[in-house]
Amino acid sequence: MSWVDERTGPVVLADVRWYLDGRSGRAAYDAGHIPGAVFVDLDRWLAGEASPESGRHPLPEPETFAAGMSALGIGEDSRVVAYDDEGGVIAARLVWMLRVTGHEAALLDGGLQTYHGPLERDAPRSVKATFTPRPWPPHRLADIDDASDPANTVIDARAPERYRGDLEPVDARAGHIPGARNVACRANLDQAGRFLPAETLRHQFLAAGVTDGKSTISYCGSGVTACHNLIAMELAGFGGGRLYAGSWSQYSHASTRPVATGSAPGS
């Protein structure tokens, strides 16, 4: 929280809690959040309409994203600090979206657990801000063909058991994209939910074949936690990688695409 306290200019705290098991992020926010934080509804403002063809959390239209930010009081000059209660693996989606469209944003390292003061139940009164829609930069995105191309370094941010195909709780098939290596996003964090040292992260990514951001594509179940790996890559000094927003939720529905299982990348 010291980063927030030291900043000058408008700083917006954003609560981006969301749960794969169906629990309500909004209900968690209403039960208690950091004072002054706004709730960012991932399904409404950070994702487009779900479908088997596009995945569970495709990127929204830039106009939708802009409308959501504006309604929450996030403007062109706002500095956003986003958090969740899972070490930032969900809130990273908002941070990545803001950064790639030229806005200043950061994760609250350690998330909600780092705030030791009393929590607030009431939502702050938001004053509508000016937030201009900007297109998603093509050089920061990948599609299903890019993710299938062995010329690219592809990393899978899901938990090891989902990567191996031991289980698949939500998507059409179990396993991973052939050639992809598992870099579970939660392995970026220590036991307190804070980022590991940059040098430790760098070694983890190097072990997965990452040598630079431009040739690296990150995916997960639906393009949310994959953003945590992209932010961790930046912290480790690799620069910005590419997001495969459709991720496994799109790929697993493409029945003609091959699937690998087990702990090896496959081919």
- As annotated, the active-site residues are 220
Residue recorded with tokens 């690219």: 152
Query: With contact defined as beta carbons under 8 Å apart, do 71 and 44 qualify?
Result: no
Residue recorded with tokens 């899972």: 86
> Which phi and psi angles does 105 have, rounded to 5°?
-155, 150
Count of Cβ atoms closer than 10 Å to residue 150 Cβ: 10
The set of residues, in sequence order, having a beta carbon less than 8 Å from that of 170 and lying 6+ positions away, is 20, 56, 221, 249
Q: Which residues of 63-79 are buried (b: 16+ CB within 10 A; e: fewer)?
A: ebbbbbbbebbbbeebb
Amino acid at the residue 221: G
Spatial CA neighbour of 28 closest among 97, 120, 158: 120
The rounded distance, in Å, linking the Cα atoms of 79 and 13 is 9
> Which phi and psi angles does 12 have, rounded to 5°?
-115, 125
Token duo for residue 56: 């569970």
The rounded distance, in Å, linking the Cα atoms of 66 and 208 is 35
Residue recorded with tokens 């495969």: 244
Beta bridge partners of 260: 176
Helix (H) or strand (E) holding 161: helix 160-164
